[in-house]
Amino acid sequence: MEKELLQEDSQIIVVILIAIMVLLLMAVSLVLFFFFSRKKIVAAELEKANMAISYQRDLIHGTIETQEEERKRIAQDLHDAISAKLNVVSLSTNVLIDGKLDKKEQEQTLQHILSVTTKTLESSRRLAHNLLPPILENFGLQAAIEELCDEFISSKKIKVNYTVVYHDLFSKSNELHIFRIIQELLNNSVRHGKAANVVLNIDETDQELTIEYSDDGKGFDIQSIHKNKGIGLKNIESRVEILNGILSYQSEVGNGATFTISTKKPKK
């Protein structure tokens, strides 16, 4: 009897030990499972963070490149349109001061100075207009975009079919970004796309602005453009990012390009 009890106790102890071992194995398995799962989650989060950092870095680089290109353009405009003409005025004025010209030559020189001065004023107004269009400041975004489209139409380089519905959703600084985006799209259609026609639709709801833009130009290869974006596209992407908007575009070589931009009204 005592022997049977000892055997039963031994069996119970063995069962308990086996149960403890099983529980330990399960516990270790759970710990390893959570460890490796957590490791995968952390790795995925790190990869996501690195992608976000890389995107922000590319965006900053694009913004800097765009700013540098704009500075170069402004510097070139100042040199060609203003500095060079003022040098001519200065030289002509010195000739007059010397007093070696007869009356007819003096009149001709004065007429020349007046002509150059008038052209310089026109150039300075155009430069100021490019930096900050007065119509945008005085009459708002809708009027500024309509004037911009009409200027491209008047140039006879491209036909622009446009519809603009906008009622002061954004601040003046953000309106300037929207204006520059449209300006960049039109310039790209003319310079690079060699397009003949553009369709531009700008519409709004109470809280969102949508821009739909398409042309019938040369188009471009999406895969190639993702690897090597030009200044113009980087400029557009940077401005859309500043607006907290979403940009999508589609194109095929020989079949034009389509751009869609949507951005919500910022919360006060």
DSSP-assigned states of every residue in 45-70: HHHHHHHHHHHHHHHHHHHHHHHHHH
Nearest CA-CA partner of 108 in 127, 92, 132: 92
**Where is the domain boundary, 131, 160, 188?**
131
Q: The domain spanning residue 266 has which CATH number?
A: 3.30.565.10
Side chain identity at residue 26, one-letter code: M
Q: Are residues 122 and 180 in the same domain?
A: no
Model confidence at 5: pLDDT above 60:
no
DSSP 267: P
Q: Which of 106, 131, 156 delimits the end of a domain? A: 131
- Measured between alpha carbons, how far is 65 from 86 in angstroms, rounded to an integer? 30
Tell me what pLDDT residue 267 has: 65
Band of residue 225 on the pLDDT scale cut at 50, 70, 90: confident
Say how many domains are in the chain: 2
**Residues 143-162 pLDDT 10s:** 999 999 998 999 888 999 99
Within this chain, do residues 30 and 139 fall inside the same structural domain, yes or no?
Answer: no
Identify whether residues 125 and 140 lie together within a single domain: no
Residues 181 and 246 in one domain: yes
Final residue belonging to a domain, choices 131, 164, 193: 131
* Same domain membership, residue 140 and residue 104: no
Same domain flag for 50 and 145:
no
Mean of the pLDDT values across residues 215-244?
84
Q: What value does the mean pLDDT of the chain take? A: 80
pLDDT given at position 245: 92
The pLDDT of 229-236, averaged and rounded, is 79
Task: Indicate if 169 and 94 belong to the same structural domain.
Answer: no
Query: What percent of the chain is predicted at pLDDT more than 90?
Result: 27
pLDDT (tens digit, 9 = 90+) per residue, 184-203?
Answer: 999 999 988 899 999 999 99
pTM, full prediction: 0.61
On whether both 160 and 100 belong to a single domain, the answer is no
Q: pLDDT at residue 167 above 90?
A: no
**Which residue from 63, 267, 78 is spatially nearest to 180, judged by alpha carbons?**
63
Residues 6+ apart with CB under 8 A from 195: 158, 189, 215, 216, 217, 218, 256
Domain that holds residue 173: 133-268
